[in-house]
């Protein structure tokens, strides 16, 4: 398993993490979200679903209904809140076999109530509040995720300096490694206009006369 730490100091940064996760998640994935009451488990689920095309206003904690299903552009999303379950034996009545057939993405809050029903490849996201809107997200994901498109976007990244403005950019900035969207667009314009040149070492054929 691979362990990744993503500190997020704002709701925008958390939304960016959710978008990064949405780019990697595939049908058949099971994700447990661990954290105390109010840690932000449902907020993260809402943002992941939103990044997959689900109306975020339709996403709520399924505490009383236990499970909600949302249709996304990637796959159905099964959102479970197992807080009120006595054990994993209660899962059968919810249609657990149906949602774990490999066609859905499963996001689980209070997964410790059904620990023995979870497969070894279950993704774990531990959420620790570090401020009013700040959270530390600690991800444990299968090694096989390294081969998935989008995985580099999940990896921990350092604070950096914007190559356009020269200003510092925190690691959780939604526009990283750029200071803001304007700097990102300026960089894109440089590539489109041809003002950027990629250099390479001189080769012998460059010195030969035609």
Residue 154 CA: distances (Å) to CA of 2, 38, 55, 150, 160:
11, 24, 23, 7, 17
Q: How far apart are CA 132 and CA 10, in angstroms?
A: 9
Q: How far apart are CA 170 and CA 173, in angstroms?
A: 6
Residues 6+ apart with CB under 8 A from 154: 4, 6, 20, 21, 24, 139, 141, 145
For residue range 111-165, list pLDDT tens digits in order. 998 888 899 999 999 999 999 999 999 999 999 999 998 898 888 778 889 888 9
For residue range 58-94, list pLDDT tens digits in order. 888 776 668 899 999 999 999 999 888 877 777 877 7
The helix/strand/coil state of 76 is strand
- Cβ neighbour number for residue 128 with a 10 Å cutoff: 15
Domains of the chain: 2-154 (3.40.50.300), 157-197 (no CATH)
User: In the prediction, which pLDDT does 116 show?
Assistant: 87
User: In the prediction, which pLDDT does 45 show?
Assistant: 95
């Amino acid at each position: 398993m691979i362990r990744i730490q993503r500190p997020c100091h704002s709701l925008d940064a958390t939304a960016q993490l959710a978008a990064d996760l949405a780019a990697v998640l595939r049908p058949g994935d099971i994700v447990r979200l661990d954290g105390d009451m109010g840690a932000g488990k449902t907020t993260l689920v809402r943002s992941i679903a939103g990044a997959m095309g689900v109306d975020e206003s339709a996403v709520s904690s399924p505490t009383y209904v236990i499970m909600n299903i949302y249709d996304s552009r990637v796959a159905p999303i099964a959102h479970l809140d197992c807080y009120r379950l006595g054990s994993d034996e209660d899962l059968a009545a919810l249609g657990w076999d149906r949602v774990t057939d490999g066609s859905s993405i499963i996001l689980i809050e209070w997964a410790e109530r059904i620990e023995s029903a979870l497969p070894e490849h279950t993704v774990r996201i531990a959420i620790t509040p570090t401020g009013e809107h700040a959270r530390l997200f600690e991800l444990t994901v299968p090694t096989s995720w390294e081969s998935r498109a989008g995985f580099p976007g999940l990896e921990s990244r350092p604070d950096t300096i914007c190559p356009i403005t020269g200003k510092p950019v925190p690691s959780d900035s939604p526009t990283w490694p750029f200071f803001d969207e304007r700097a990102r667009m300026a960089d894109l314009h440089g590539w489109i206009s041809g003002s950027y040149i990629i250099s390479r070492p001189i080769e012998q054929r460059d010195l030969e006369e035609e």
